[in-house]
Structure 1
Amino acid sequence: MSTALTGTELKLWARVTPLPMPAGHLPFPAQPGAIKLTLSPQCSAGCADKPTYAWDGNLMWGGSYDIDPHEETATATVQWSGGVPDESGKKDSDLSQALAFAPYATFSSLVPETFPTDNSQGFIGNPVYARCDMVYSPAGCVFRDYMPGYVFNTAKTPAAAAHAWLIQAKIRKGAPLTYLPDRRGDTGEHGERNKYGRDPDANRRVICPDGWAAKSGHPDTTPVTDISAGDKSSCDEFTFAASYNSGGMPSDMGGTNQVSSGDKCAQTYATKLSDATWRLYDDERTAAPTWSEVCGRSAMSGWVNSTSMSRFPTFAKELRLIDQDAYFVRTPGFDKCDASKPTIKCDIR
């Protein structure tokens, strides 16, 4: 199957490949009509019309695999009907529709005494799911269970990438994140897109209260005033505030790592050395991380912090990420770093 990220057409492919007869069964004799199949792609809901396969040839074999091993392939084009649970709704669940495709087959033979035909019809395998939505404009479709990956620009924002890698590798063991969307456009109400109406900024204020970096951030945090004249220290949370994995996300709203304060997170800061290299250090003013923490809080350049996430809205839109979708985070350059030891020392490679 393929989907259109900015379109409502889905294309299906099918291939029928004969298999050798099971042990204890004789081959089908070589005669026309020894094996006849019909195979159709069943759409559970959401298709504009009933899909059918266009086969390259007839689904008929003159014997079993050792007599007639040829394959048959087919394609089908399906249009999403555009139907959603609530077209006037604001939540992602109101504006998206899952479509399930499970091929349905029937089997017949002119020589049934050669092979049991008691179960001669039924669904083959598990359904394949697509999902179409009007959350983003224009409408489009994706594979429902596909997990995309957000990639940090490590070369441009190494400190932010280092913090994300550290927490993701050391605490989260590489587990995917779950997306908490905010609002539709710039004029909607914060939190309106997600199931719980949770404003992601409320998560941020738990971990990174307003003014925390200026008041409590490490004094050796380096701003990049050579890049941005007004740059100041800021508070970087990982996992992201716009995720159900944020330490600020309440557990009764699906949060998986709720803490009462960012003080409960592993504490680090980012500084730029005289040789122009960046380093992410433990904040020695607090107890060293035990790695039983569930979140990370780091003082770092505001420009670095914001720039590292500047591509995320485009990532979410282009890959049609909606409420509670899972996605991975990648930090190139840290792939060969070892997070298994209590003390982590690693250079970008």
Structure 2
Amino acid sequence: MYNTLSVEVKDEQQVESKGFQKFLMSYHMKTDLLGTELKLWARITPLPMPAGKIPFPAQPGAIKLTITPMCSTGCKDKPSYDWDGNLMWGGSVDIDPHEETGTTTVQWDGKVPNSSGVKDTDLSQELAFAPYATFSTSVPETFPTDNSQGLIGNPVYTRCDKVYSPSGCVFRDYMPGYVFNTAKTPAAAAHAWLINTKIRKGAPLNYLPDRRGSSGTHGERNRYNRDPDDNRKVICPDGWAAKDGNPNATPVTDISASDKASCDEFAFASTYNSGGMPKGAEGTNPVRSGNECVQTFATKLSNGTWKLYDEGRQAAPAWKEVCGRSAMSGWINSTSMSRFSSFSSKLRLLDQDLYLVRTPGFEKCDASKAVVKCDIR
């Protein structure tokens, strides 16, 4: 992250400038997905003097700074940078161009809103860091201006949690991406790409977690106690593929002898964007049933090529739908999402977190026309 800090002194009447210097503040933070220590690094660098500004004169201690990585909540101890040297300059950049680098580590204090709770919000804590600078000078008969100290840029938010074990920390606003294995599950990737691109315009998904472990109550982690399987049942009722799915959906019995057609939905059932998520529970695209979704099916041609087709037994998509439902191989359907549990836990996704979906091979496809045709490339 990069920001600038300007320091200036004026005369006693705060009218005439007696010295000015701008600094570049470069800093980064590193979280630990499997630990609660955060590493911070910072560098302060004098920048060239802008035209029309009066530089600080050659004077020991002309510019004296203190810069701290203020942590508003959640830190075990009050953090401070360990600088290479003193944050002191004997004049503006033409006189003293040296830069300083500082490092520190910060430990999460482990406190959460409700340590006996089961919801993600009970077991996670945000930490806000906002580098803060103060300035003083040894130049006689001058006075720092009001804007010569304060926050350097906006706060940076990290989040630590005990939802997953062991505890760990992430950047709150970072959006990870779930990547389909297009080569292994082309039909599922094609369906996700079609709906995500044509209808959702690539918007991120909001994660709807289920329960902690395998023995908890379904839906206990999210704020609405919503079981993601209840979303699935709206779009993909039990037995739908066998009863109402397109009979030309191809199972992969050469891979799994017991494979049969199943129902694939997008957006996923474990999102607030699922068509099955009620509006009262912050569902973004509620529908009464999967019949209101774009209908497709996936079949394998004799030459081994997979194709995702319009259902064809009913009206073509109007592209005003908010969800997609497709009949396809159950093995392909389940395998396409088999890594999601690892993805969500490794990257510590919590209730309502945003994440993206990527489908490699479709980058050059055009979804702008009413009839969408594309080959994986």
Instruction: Find the counterpart in structure 2 of residue 148 from structure 1.
Output: 176
The partner residue of 2:65 within 37, 62, 85 is 37
Match of 1:50 among 78, 99, 114: 78
CA distance in structure 1 between the aligned counterparts of 2:130 and 2:330, rounded to whole angstroms: 49
Aligned residues: 349
The AA in structure 2 aligned to 1:9 is E
1:167 aligns with 2:180: no
1:288 is the counterpart of 2:316: yes
> In the aligned structure 1, how far is the partner of 2:118 from the partner of 2:327?
35
Q: Are 1:138 and 2:130 counterparts? A: no
Alpha-carbon displacement from aligned partner over 1:214-235 (angstroms, at most 9, x marks no partner): 0000010000011111111000
1:220 and 2:248 equivalent? yes
Task: Provide, for residues 143-202 of structure 1, a one-character-per-residue CA deviation record: whole Å limited to 9, x for no partner.
Answer: 010000000000000000000000011001110001000000110000000010000000
- Other structure's SS at 2:46 match: coil
Give the equivalent residue in structure 1 for 2:33.
Answer: 5
Distance 1:59 1:340 in 2: 56
Tell me, in whole angstroms, the C-alpha distance in 1 between the residues paired with 2:140 and 2:294: 68
- Say which SS state the counterpart of residue 94 (structure 1) adopts: coil
Match of 2:118 in 1: 90
The equivalent of 2:145 in structure 1 is 117
Q: Distance in 1 between matches of 2:202 and 2:57?
A: 54
Q: Report the CA distance between 1:113 and its aligned residue.
A: 5.9
Displacement, 1:22? 4.6
CA contact (8 A) 1:46 1:98 kept: yes
Paired with 2:367 and 2:103, the residues of 1 have a C-alpha distance of: 47
Q: Which amino acid aligns with 2:52?
A: G
Give the conservation status (yes or no) of the 8 Å contact 2:59–2:139. no
**Is residue 37–residue 108 contact of structure 1 (8 Å, CA) maintained in 2?**
yes
Distance between the aligned counterparts of 1:17 and 1:252, measured in 2?
51
Task: Select the residue among 39, 42, 48 that pairs with 1:14.
Answer: 42
Shift of 1:118: 2.7
Alignment of 1:316-331 (within 5 A): 316-331=344-359
Pick aligned residue for 1:257 from 281, 285, 303? 285
Distance 2:250 2:90 in 1: 75
Residues in 2 aligned to 1:226 and 1:344: alpha-carbon distance in whole angstroms = 30
- Report the Cα offset of residue 116 of structure 1: 4.4
Give the Cα separation in 2 of the matches to 1:336 and 1:119: 49
Deviation, 1:269, is 0.2
Q: Does the CA contact (< 8 Å) of 2:276 and 2:287 recur in 1?
A: yes
Which of residues 84, 96, 106 in structure 2 aligns to 1:78? 106
| Residues 1:344 and 1:331: Cα distance change in structure 2 (over 3 Å) | same
Q: Give the Å deviation of 1:109.
A: 1.3
What secondary structure is seen at the aligned counterpart in 2 of 1:40? Answer: strand
Deviates most, 60-69 or 182-191? 60-69
Give the SS at the match of 2:296: strand
**One-letter amino acid of the structure 2 residue matched with residue 154 of structure 1:** T
Tell me how far apart the structure 2 counterparts of residues 264 and 217 of structure 1 sit (CA, whole Å): 14
* 1:178–1:244 CA contact under 8 A, matched in 2: yes
For structure 2, list consecutive stretches of 5 or more residues without a partner in the other structure: 1-28
1:256 maps to a residue whose letter is: T
Post-superposition offset of 1:286: 1.3
Relative distance call for 1:112 and 1:153 in structure 2 (3 A) is farther
Query: Runs of 4+ in structure 1 displaced over 4 angstroms?
Result: 112-116
Question: Which of these residues, 303, 310, 315, is aligned with residue 275 of structure 1?
Answer: 303
Find the residue that maps to 2:146 and give its secondary structure: coil
Alignment-derived partner of residue 236 in structure 2: 208
CA distance in 2, matches of 1:65, 1:292: 59
Give the superposition deviation at 1:271: 0.1
Q: What is the one-letter code of the residue matched to 2:203?
A: A
The residue type equivalent to 1:35 in the other structure is I
The SS at the match of 1:119 is: helix
Map Cα deviations across residues 279-318 of structure 1 (whole Å, 9 max, x no partner).
Answer: 0000000111111111000000000000000000000010
Indicate conservation of the 8 Å contact 1:25/1:114, yes or no. no
Structure 2 Cα separation of the partners of residues 65 and 286 of structure 1: 73
SS in 2 for 1:198: coil
Shift of 1:73: 1.1
Q: For 1:246, give the aligned amino acid.
A: S
Match of 1:312 among 322, 340, 343: 340
Out of 181, 195, 211, which is 2:223 matched to? Answer: 195
How far apart, CA to CA, are the structure 1 residues paired with 2:102 and 2:371? 56
What TM-score, normalized by structure 2, do the two folds share? 0.91
- In structure 1, the gaps of 5 or more residues are none
What residue in structure 2 maps to residue 99 of structure 1?
127
Contact 1:262 1:297 in 2 (8 A): yes
1:36 is displaced (CA, Å) by 0.5
Q: CA deviation at 1:31?
A: 2.0
Partner Cα distance (2:240, 2:62) in 1: 77
Residue type at the aligned position of 1:182: D
SS in structure 1 at match of 2:357: strand
User: Which digits, 9 at most, give the CA deviation of each residue in 1:64-98, with x for residues without a partner?
Assistant: 12322222111110000110000110000000000
Cα pair distance change 1:114/1:90, threshold 3 Å:
same
Alpha carbons 2:135, 2:144 under 8 Å: kept: no
